Amino acid sequence: MMDTRRCGEPCASGLHVDGLSEGWLVRMGLPGGRRVTIADVARAGGVSRTTVSHALNGLGRVDPGTRERVRRVAEELGYRPNLRAQRLRRGQSRTIGLVSSMPYAVAAAGPARLGFYMEVAAAAAETALNAGFALVLAPPLESGLSLDSLDIDGAIVVEPEQDDGVTRRLAERGLAVVTLGPQLGTDFAHVDLGGAAVGEVLLGHLYAQGARNIALLLGDCRRHSYVSLQSAYAQFAAERGMPSVVVAVPEAGGEDSGHAGGVRLLAEHPEVDAVCAAVDAFAVGCVRALGAAGRRVPDDVLVATRYDGLLARTCDPPLTAVNLHLSEVAEAAVEMMLAQLGAEPGNDPMRVPPPELVPRRSSQRTVQTPTAVRP
């Protein structure tokens, strides 16, 4: 005869749940290894399928005791929700895209693709998964690949330029959009990447190291990071009576563009004693050009860049850069996306710390200490 003691009461065969012993729950008939369904949980728990669904998904008004009992029954039975069915009911894929229209040369520089884009992806994927969402990583779309085939609820777009076709197409599909760095001319939700503050940190450091002819090396399109850095540079130079030297190079060339920019700087402005590069790949290429011309870094020319990534750390000499706190940036972007999708974030809202200088040898001249003269 079935034991009908209350939930939680001990018996010879184990814990009872709604009158069902632990042993009975394990042995209840699921022929042929059939997957446990929500109906099985409802029958074992003595409740309706709707109550089970609400209890397991945090929906509706379910008595806390009933919710806990249903969860224990589901766990005991080994129930796993049918994600496809849930997505159909909700009209959501529970999937977020991470997208960049930036070329590989600056978004994921190097053969290992361990650049800016991948650092953002790692943190975004973890935050999304904690909230029950998957992250789909799309490659930089310089090849003209389409996102139309991706079944996603929204997309986080990394540093779109002003007339970016990627964000436009996503918005036309009715998808939620969050950008890392504002997109000029739009009102998409965004997480700030430091903007002008990055320029102030880098330029202030180079100036404090004695540089008085600082050149700015950036990409030749209108991304917020370039526009804000150039604005900060113009103000910085004007306030100090410093000559303004700005060289814009094609993004897609990556390190080679930086090299060409360095060659041009030396030919047109040989007096330059420091270079502030908006992209790490540009900075590495510029260091190459300076070395080929016999200009030593940092003794003759200081070099610093915006992103503290693998290229900055492995350059010779290692490059002074800025910690943009990309893990926090990515987490904040996912939380913005979840809010737009009506989902509950897994953590408290993340505050992104201000950009932080990471000084290295490329911008620190060796100071010779005078030898004391004996009387």
Q: Per residue in 13-28, pLDDT tens?
A: 333 444 444 444 444 4
The angle that helices 64-77 and 49-57 make with each other, rounded to 10 degrees, is 90
Q: How far is CA 252 from the centre of its chain?
A: 21
Question: Residues 178, 157: contact at Cβ < 8 Å?
Answer: yes
Q: What is the pLDDT of residues 273-288, one digit of tens each?
A: 999 999 999 999 999 9
Quote the percentage of the chain above a pLDDT of 90.
50
Confidence bin at 8 (pLDDT 50/70/90): very low
pLDDT reported for residue 85: 52
Q: How far is CA 80 from the centre of its chain?
A: 30
pLDDT reported for residue 146: 64
List the domains of the chain with CATH numbers: 10-81 (1.10.260.40), 95-193+327-349 (3.40.50.2300), 196-325+357-363 (3.40.50.2300)
Q: Which of 45-54, 120-129, 327-336 has the lowest mean pLDDT?
A: 45-54
Reported as type and span, the H/E element at residue 237 is helix 224-240
Q: Which of 77-91, 192-206, 207-221 has the lowest mean pLDDT?
A: 77-91
Question: Residues 193, 329: contact at Cβ < 8 Å?
Answer: yes
More confident residue, 187 or 37: 187
Mean pLDDT of all residues in the chain?
81
Q: What is the pLDDT of residues 215-251, one digit of tens each?
A: 999 999 999 999 999 999 999 999 999 999 999 999 8
More confident residue, 116 or 162: 162
Q: Sign of torsion, CA 359 361 363 365?
A: positive
Confidence bin at 43 (pLDDT 50/70/90): confident
DSSP state of 251: G
Burial class (CB in 10 A: 0-12, 13-18, 19+), 212: middle
The angle that helices 38-45 and 49-57 make with each other, rounded to 10 degrees, is 100
**Beta pairing, strands 154-158 & 176-180:** parallel
Integer Cα distance of 171 and 304 in angstroms: 36
